[in-house]
Amino acid sequence: MKNKKRIVPIVAMVIMCIVFAIIVRKSGEPLSVDTILRYTPQNKICAVGILLVFFALKSLTVVFPLSILYIASGILFQPIIAVLVSTAGFVITITIPYWIGRYSGKRTIQEICKKYPKAGQVAEYQEQNVSFACFITRIVGFLPCDIVSVYFGACGTAYSMFLLAGIAGSLLSIVTTTLLGEKISDPFSIEFLIVLLCRIAVSISAVVINYQLNKKKK
């Protein structure tokens, strides 16, 4: 039974990677906002479903950033709906690799730490507070989103804690990037400039927080 459980995420990963490869191959170009919009139907309900599939595909690759999905969501939907869709997409994006890590076991932690030396920082944060570790890794973003999720899954972190702390740490980024997409059609408007400045402020804050944490550690 345990072996069967481990096969399920592997099969899901293979299927999603095949779908992703087909989409990129058919488009003839790297996955971008324009590519996503091209594959998204006019029907809003169907559009939500397709965009969430893209979020699921994103969870299995570090090839393209989450930001292009947030921007696409902002272009496709009204602001409130767009933020809700982006948040739901983020939940999918961190949930799939979390459960892959959970099924993979603790040996995965060693492999991640070996490939990504900065993962050692996550372990240090965990010693202080697991919830804080889930929260701060999303704000700072010093590791790929998918790798962080696999790591916490392999650690056996409670899913509810992982999810709530992850959303809290990423919410500002989700909202500002999504609204940036909503205003992108008029890049010279006051609203666009305000959202852009907020997005820049979020990025700068992440850099400052990371610097302060590293300074304290030293």
- What is the model's pLDDT at position 145? 84
- DSSP category for residue 116: -
Q: Range with the lowest mean pLDDT among 6-20, 40-54, 167-181?
A: 6-20
For the chain, the average pLDDT equals 78
- pLDDT over 70 (residue 143): yes
Q: What domain count does the chain have?
A: 1
Q: Which domain does 164 fall in, by range?
A: 2-217
User: What confidence tens digit (pLDDT) does each residue in 89-118 have?
Assistant: 999 999 988 988 888 777 778 788 788 777
Nearest Cα to Cα of residue 122 among 102, 139, 105, 100: 139
Task: Summarize the confidence of residues 176-182 as an average pLDDT.
Answer: 85
Give residue 31's pLDDT band: very low, low, confident or very high (50, 70, 90): low
- What is the model's pLDDT at position 9? 55
- What is the model's pLDDT at position 203? 72
Task: Summarize the confidence of residues 53-79 as an average pLDDT.
Answer: 84
**Residue reference for tokens 């999905």:** 69
Give the Cα separation of 100 and 34 in Å (integer). 30
Give residue 138's pLDDT band: very low, low, confident or very high (50, 70, 90): confident
- What is the model's pLDDT at position 164? 92
- How far separated are the first and last CA of the chain, in Å rounded? 46
